[in-house]
Amino acid sequence: MKRFLSVALAAGAGLVFAGSAFAITYGTPGTVEEGTYFAIKSSDTANVAAYQAGMAANGIQAARHNLGAMSTQYNTTGTSEICVFCHTPHHTLTANSRGINSGSNYANKSDYAPAPIWNRQSVATNFVAYGTTIGGSVVSSGQIGGVTLACLSCHDAQTTFDNLVNAPGSGLGGTFTTGTGSNYGTAARQGWTFFDQTAFQFDSNGGMMTNDTTDNDIRLNIGMGPTSGAVDLSNDHPMSICYSDGHQGDASAIGNNGLACNAGDTTKRASLRDRSDVIGDIDLATGLTTTNAALGTLGSAVAQELANNVSQNRWAVRGFISGGANDGVTNGAKIGDLLRNGKVECSSCHDPHFKNRSNIDWKDATGGGDVPTSDDVDGLFLRRVGGNAGSGVCRTCHNK
């Protein structure tokens, strides 16, 4: 299959994708583009070189975010649809819809508007934010943003997976009233049973993130924290927090995003890089040793892959892999493209649609250090090709 990347918007060059700060021309007319999921086969090892700039960042059908009947991991027989657990083309939660039930700390009593055609609704009413960082940035419980709320509508361990606004098929899954306003569209449970295909367990109560601290899946309960009964984010990386690179509220630096994010604040914090920096041009390799001898018992395959990993910094941004000058890209995605309204949200590091098989945890290496070859790997849905090897995700924003 022939692929090419052009940084100019050439006419007739297949699918043209344009973001606020970068553009990618992807695809050859008359061909079927398979994207990243097909770039690494199940029999292959992790391979960052397989994920080239311009590819569609895909694979949700084979990832854990597919809860439909044909999923190979965790599924329900209630529907074979994949997207419906998050999105619906009609009767979505609108900008005027209450994202969650009333309570003292619920996202400015606002909505899930930044999450596109959203089809879920959290039942949680009490949220605890990170608070104040060492650098002096502040995020309060009433400021948790729509994109992060969207993720928490599954990862709060309070809302069932089948709590949908518009169920598949004819008829509406939730409760609707005529007209507009805060009562238009609320979610309802569908009464589906969910099955864990790896352990042959089932949940007849609509499925939910576990609260069992002895269960390995407790890591997925992002809302679990020291505050009992709350969705507690105080022990997580700050969410819905302004990106303090000195350009908060500066329209010339951030385009149409972030105008309400600490307008006029020029304080730089946490060694954050400038949001105008091209992600793919950030050097992550200098100062690291990636020779096989230095990696001890890890095999040569791991050593080579780690060297390849930190020598690039391609990320999945706006649905495609974007790169830098080393990838032949002169107008790649910028750090600002990872922000939402000038803030860091769950989606800044994670893409729920991207089965990142280039990211395999090296602690799972077997056979004298060879790279694992599991088709179950989702790579934590991290946006960075190769995941957080060498703390590449962290160091993309933090110039430590």
Statement: residue 334 has pLDDT above 90: yes
Q: What is the mean pLDDT of residues 14-31?
A: 50
In percent, the amount of the chain with pLDDT more than 70 equals 70
Q: What is the mean pLDDT of residues 61-76?
A: 91
Statement: residue 221 has pLDDT above 60: yes
Which residues, including other chains, have CB under 8 Å from residue 197's CB and lie 6 or more apart?
A: 71, 72, 73, 74, 75
Statement: residue 285 has pLDDT above 50: yes
pLDDT given at position 144:
84
**Residue that wins the pLDDT comparison between 21 and 301:** 301
Statement: residue 257 has pLDDT above 50: no
**Residue that wins the pLDDT comparison between 60 and 370:** 60
259 pLDDT band (50/70/90 cuts)?
Answer: very low
Q: What is the mean pLDDT of residues 79-96?
A: 83
In percent, the amount of the chain with pLDDT more than 90 equals 35
The string of pLDDT tens digits covering residues 204-219 is: 778 888 888 887 778 8
Q: What is the pTM of this model?
A: 0.84
**Residue that wins the pLDDT comparison between 120 and 41:** 120
Statement: residue 12 has pLDDT above 50: no
276 pLDDT band (50/70/90 cuts)?
Answer: very high
